Chains A and B, each alone.
Chain A
Amino acid sequence: MTPALSRPNGKSTDTLADIEMQEAIATQASEKIATTHPISETRILLEGISWDTYERLLEETGEGRHQRFAYCDGVLEIMVPLADHEEPTRLFDDFVAVFVDALGLELRKLGSLTMKAEPKTKGLEPDCCFYIQNEAAVRGVSQLDFAVHPPPDLVVEVDNSSGSLDKFPIYGALKVPEIWRLRRGVLTIHCLNEAQTDYAEAEQSVAFPQLPVRELPQFIERAKVVGQRAAVRELAKRVKEVLDA
Chain B
Amino acid sequence: MVNSPVREVPASQVQSNTVLSNVSWSVLEALDDNLAETGARLVYLDGCLEIMVPLSEEHEEPKKLLAQLLEAYMRLKGIRFYAKGSATIGLKQLGARKEPDESYCVGERSKVPNLAIEITVTSGGLDVLEIYRRIGVREVWFWEDGVIAVYALGEQGYEQVYKSQLLPELDIRSLEFHSRMADQFDAVNSFIETL
Contacts and interface: CB of A to CB of B under 8 A. Distances in A.
B21 A80 contact: no
A67 interface: yes
Contacts of B30: 50, 52-53, 56
A48 B35 contact: yes
A127 to B, nearest CB: 11
A21 interface: no
A50 B30 CA distance: 9
A48 B37 contact: yes
Interface residues of B, number: 26
B2 A86 contact: yes
Contact of A44 (B23, B24, B34, B51): B51
B87 interface: no
Interface residues of A, number: 26
B4 A66 contact: yes
B3 interface: yes
Interface string B1-40: 1111000101000001110111110110011001111101
Given A53-B27, A53-B30, A56-B27, A81 B22 contact: no
Contacts of B195: none
B79 interface: no
Interface string A75-117: 0001011010010000000000000000000000000100000
Contact of B16 (A42, A57, A64): A42
Nearest to A53: B30
A42 B18 CA distance: 9
B1 A53 contact: no
B167 interface: no
Contact of B2 (A57, A60, A81): A81
Contacts of B22: 60-62, 64
Given A52-B30, A66-B2, A80-B18, A46 B53 contact: yes
A138 interface: no
Main secondary structure of the interface of A (DSSP, over half): mixed
B3 A66 contact: yes
Nearest to B6: A66
A46 B1 contact: no
Nearest to A81: B2
Contacts of B3: 66
Given A52-B30, A53-B34, A78 B23 contact: no
A47 interface: yes
A83 B8 CA distance: 12
B31 A53 contact: yes
Interface in B105-136: none
A61 B21 contact: yes
A128 B134 CA distance: 42
Instruction: Please give me the 8 A-B residue pairs with the lowest Cβ-Cβ distance, nearest first.
Output: A53-B30, A49-B34, A56-B27, A66-B4, A48-B34, A80-B18, A66-B1, A44-B16
Interface of A: 42-50, 52-53, 56-57, 60-62, 64-67, 78, 80-81, 83, 86, 112
18 contacts: A44-B16, A44-B17, A44-B18, A45-B53, A46-B40, A47-B35, A47-B37, A48-B37, A52-B30, A57-B27, A57-B31, A60-B24, A65-B1, A65-B20, A66-B2, A66-B4, A67-B18, A86-B2
Interface of B: 1-4, 8, 10, 16-18, 20-24, 26-27, 30-31, 34-38, 40, 51, 53
